[in-house]
Every structure is written in C-alpha cells, then in structure tokens.
Amino acid sequence: MKLKWKIYFLCLLIYIVSIIVTAVVVTSSSYNSMIKKEIQRNLNAQASIKKSSLLYLLTNMKDSNSSARLEDYSQALVDMFTTKNVYLQIYSPQGELIADGFYLGQGKSKVDIVETSSRDYILKTIDKKHYLFINERLEYGGDYVILTTVNDVSQIQEQKSNMYLSFLRASLIGLVIMSLLVIMLGQFITNPLERLITTSKKISQGNYSHRVPVQSHDEIGMLSLQFNTMAEEIENKIKELEREAQNKQEFIDNLTHELRTPLTSIIGYSELLLAIKYDEKKFTTGLDFINSEGKRILNMVNGLMDLILSRMESLNISPASVKEIISSACERVALKANEKLIEIKIEGDDFPIPVDETLFTMAIINLLDNAIKASPAESTIKVYYSQSNNMANITINDQGCGIPQEHLHKITEPFYRVDKSRSRQQGGAGLGLALVKTILDAHHASIAFDSEPGKGTSVTISINLEDVK
C-alpha cells in the first residue's frame, strides 16, 4: 500500500475513534445533567402533588365519616391529579395497585413496598417510552398508601438520540473535509519521495549523472541531499571502473598489436622464403628480419613477465643501503654504458631506505637503461640521492634527447613509446617504465619526470621513509 494511503487511512481511523469517543462522552454527560434536572423538577412537582393530596384528604376526610379509609379516596386523588404529563398511581401498603392514572402499566407493575417514609424513584422503559416513577408514602391519620407519580421523560431520550444524530452529520461533513486535507498532506509528504524514486530508477537504469532537486531542509531534504552525495559517489566509482576497463582494453589492444606485428613478419618471411626460388639477397633480408622480430617477441615476453611478477610478488621490505642499490644497478648497466662511452656519476650520502631490494634495483636498472639509450655517446649520466623531512629522493639525470611535453603523462603506460622506430631499433618493448611504475606503486613511491627535448631528462623517485614500514 502506498504511503499516502497509509497516512490517509491512519488519519481516518484516528478521526473516527476520536469522534466516537467525543460523541459518547459529550452526549452522555449532557444527558446525565439533563436527566438530573428533569428528576429534580419532577421531584418538586411530586412534592407539590403530595402536599395538594394531603390538603385534599384533610378537607374531605374531615367532612365525611371517620370510618372512611384512605384507600377509598385513592381513585379520587388519581383522577384529580393525573394530567397530560404526570400520571398518578396509588398502591396499598402491601404493594397492590389501588388506583391507576397510568393505564399503560396496569396489572403489570407492582411497586416495591416503600418501607421508610423517604422518597425513591426509578426510571423505567415501557413500550419504548421512558418514565420516571417516584414513590412515596402518603400518611394520613396513622394510615398510609403509596403514592406513585409517573412522569414521561421520553423527550430527554429523544434529545440524546438527536444529539447523536447531529454528531453523525457533523462528523460526516468533517470526514469529507478531513479526507481532502489528508490527501493533500499525503501528496505534500510523498511528492519529494516520488522524486527520489524516479531519480533512483533513472540511476539504476544507467543514467548516473541524474540528481534529485533538493527543495527543503527537513528530513526528506536531508535524505535527498544524502542521496545526491551517494549518487555522485557511485557515478565517480563507475567512471573509475570504466576508466580502468578502458585501460585494460587498451593494454590488450596494445599487446595484440605488439604480438601481431612481429609475428606477421616472422610468418610472412618464412612463408615467402619457403615459396620462392633461392635468392641470396632476399633470403638474407628475410632471415635477418625473422631473427630480429623473434628477438623482439622474446624481449616483450621478458618485459611482460617482469611486469606480471612485480605485480604478483609480495614485497620483502627491509632497510637497505641506497648507495649499494645504486652501485649494483650501475654495475649491471656498465657494459652498455661503456659501449657508448657514457660516464655514470653517483653523488650523495648513504642512508638506509626501506625497500624490496631486488625489485627496487630492477626499477633503477630500467631507469638507467633508458637514460643510456637516450644519451648521446660520451655524455654523462648523474645519479644523486638525498633525504629530507623523511622523504628520500633519487634523481637520475641524463643529457639525452629528452621527451616532448605532450608524451610525459603517457610514458608509464605499457607499450607506450615516444619514438617507435627508435625504440624498436634499440630492442625496447615499451614496458620498462610501466614496470618501474608498478614497482614504485607497490612501494607507495612516486616518480616525476622533468624533461626538455634536446637537453635531457631528470627522473626523480620519492619515497616516504615513514610510510613504508
């Protein structure tokens, strides 16, 4: 059931219950007070009837003979005092009806014998009409009868029913008005919720940039605001996922390309050489290409293996001497450096850095390798390291060809090469910097490139010495 109907029916229930309770309480209290007044009024009337009766008896019994009994005058009394609204009945002390002005009850009612001289009264319903019976002893000359006055009090009951009826009428009108008000209230409360629902539907359908308009500062407004925050968070996450998926797709595309290109050459040349007549020049060219392209695939596979292993391996971090790491990396590239007559200068005071020695050395070797490849013959590569404010910085500076600005942000992506043909000649698979980045990411270290084409490149690695522990 919809919330607005729940509100509607709940309000309806509360309204009906309160109307009923009010009607019952108000009607019965006013009925009670009216009936009390009526009783009082009738008691007064009865008192005056009694007095008049006594006066009548006094006058008549004095005149007649004294043997006349009180009962004998009863019918006369009844006839005299019974009026349209007040009926008189007289009972013998034994409770037998002697004279009756109230014919309805004839033969049926038998008054309870009034023992004391005090009055008592009772309300009775006879044939759907309500009567007040007041009983009292009428004593005269040592003898007594019971004088009963009967008053029709039906109009009080009628008033009570009328009151209920007018309550019902008023409450029906109230019900209509209240229904309208409650429906409006329901709309007012549920409209912002409906908007929330619509928006969340749209979001779940993939429209992640959709938002709810916030129109108030109450709980629903807060909910909308919170909902928007959540939607934004989801949108960001989705975008991030999409980016990641795109990166993965790019990686796969690149990998396919990088594999297919050399394979095309290898298969193509071998097929060609198998099919053509022997020709020394063609055979030499073809075999050379088969050889170099085979090596290229090997290079790429090695690079990929390093990349995968560096991602999978758990780091074995322990304090190591930065000087030793750099020296051992330099030794590994010394041969290549010597070939180009490149000098590698190391500067800095030794300090321990918390790294995985094997992987970190691999990263440094890759960076040195890149520097050597970029450097012209007989140039210098400088490596310096320092620590300040818990940060260790290692910088590798070369005087090589540099990297154009527009390439800088992409060079750590796998297979990305600034100059493809040059890289190919040098046997690069475009995975070196991707490997370095992976290793440094695992160390929570950062890498920054500062380069000017034609002048050289500076690569700086920064490690937070506190972070890696």
The Cα–Cα gap between 110 and 132 comes to: 15
What minimum distance in Å lies between the beta carbon of 285 and other proteins?
6
What minimum distance in Å lies between the beta carbon of 398 and other proteins?
23
Token couple for 370: 């890149």
What minimum distance in Å lies between the beta carbon of 208 and other proteins?
23
418-437: which residues touch other proteins (CB under 8 A)?
Answer: 419-421, 424
Given a contact cutoff of 8 angstroms between Cβ atoms, the answer to whether 460 and 447 are in contact is yes
What minimum distance in Å lies between the beta carbon of 369 and other proteins?
22
How many amino acids of this chain bind other proteins (CB under 8 A)? 28
What minimum distance in Å lies between the beta carbon of 460 and other proteins?
28
Question: Which of 97, 140, 114, 144 shows the shortest CA–CA distance to 88?
Answer: 97
What minimum distance in Å lies between the beta carbon of 257 and other proteins?
4
What minimum distance in Å lies between the beta carbon of 376 and other proteins?
22
114-173: which residues touch other proteins (CB under 8 A)?
Answer: none
Pick between residue 126 and residue 408 the one whose CB is nearest to other proteins.
408
Pick between residue 192 and residue 428 the one whose CB is nearest to other proteins.
428
What DSSP state is assigned to residue 118? S
Token couple for 145: 């009868």
387-416: which residues touch other proteins (CB under 8 A)?
Answer: none
32-61: which residues touch other proteins (CB under 8 A)?
Answer: none
What minimum distance in Å lies between the beta carbon of 414 and other proteins?
15
Q: Does 377 bind other proteins (CB under 8 A)?
A: no
Pick between residue 128 and residue 281 the one whose CB is nearest to other proteins.
281
Which residue is associated with the tokens 């409209």? 191
Q: Which residues pair with 386 in a beta bridge?
A: 393
What DSSP state is assigned to residue 73? G
194: how many CB neighbours lie within 10 A of its CB? Answer: 13
What minimum distance in Å lies between the beta carbon of 266 and other proteins?
8
Question: Which of 431, 289, 459 shows the shortest CA–CA distance to 375?
Answer: 459
Residue type, 9: F
CA distances 435 to 68, 86, 203, 218, 413, Å, are 140, 118, 38, 53, 9
User: Using N-to-C axis directions, what is the helix angle for 432-442 and 357-374, rounded to 10°?
Assistant: 150
Pick between residue 67 and residue 421 the one whose CB is nearest to other proteins.
421
Q: What is the CA radius of gyration of the chain?
A: 57
466: how many CB neighbours lie within 10 A of its CB? Answer: 10
CA atoms within 13 A on the CB side of 3: 12
Pick between residue 101 and residue 414 the one whose CB is nearest to other proteins.
414
What minimum distance in Å lies between the beta carbon of 409 and other proteins?
18
What minimum distance in Å lies between the beta carbon of 420 and other proteins?
5
Pick between residue 208 and residue 289 the one whose CB is nearest to other proteins.
289
Q: Which residues pair with 140 in a beta bridge?
A: 143
List all residues 6 or more positions away from 338 whose beta carbon is below 8 Å from its beta carbon.
Answer: none
Going through 141-269 in order, the beta strands assigned E by DSSP cover: 143-152
CA 224 from chain center: how many Å?
10
Pick between residue 261 and residue 387 the one whose CB is nearest to other proteins.
261
Pick between residue 237 and residue 248 the one whose CB is nearest to other proteins.
248
Pick between residue 211 and residue 282 the one whose CB is nearest to other proteins.
282
433-462: which residues touch other proteins (CB under 8 A)?
Answer: none
φ, ψ of residue 457 to 5 degrees: the values are: -130, 140
Torsion-angle region of 394 (φ positive above 0: left; ψ -120 to 50: alpha; else: beta): beta
Question: Which of 256, 263, 193, 267 shows the shortest CA–CA distance to 223?
Answer: 193
String marking each residue 235-274 x if it binds other proteins according to CB under 8 A: ------------------x--xx--xxxxxx-xxx-xx-x
Pick between residue 90 and residue 290 the one whose CB is nearest to other proteins.
290
String marking each residue 269-308 x if it binds other proteins according to CB under 8 A: x-xx-xxxx----x--xx--x--xx---------------
Pick between residue 112 and residue 288 the one whose CB is nearest to other proteins.
288
User: Using N-to-C axis directions, what is the helix angle for 219-275 and 280-312, rounded to 10°?
Assistant: 150
Tell me which residues touch other proteins (CB under 8 A).
Answer: 253, 256-257, 260-265, 267-269, 271-272, 274-277, 282, 285-286, 289, 292-293, 419-421, 424
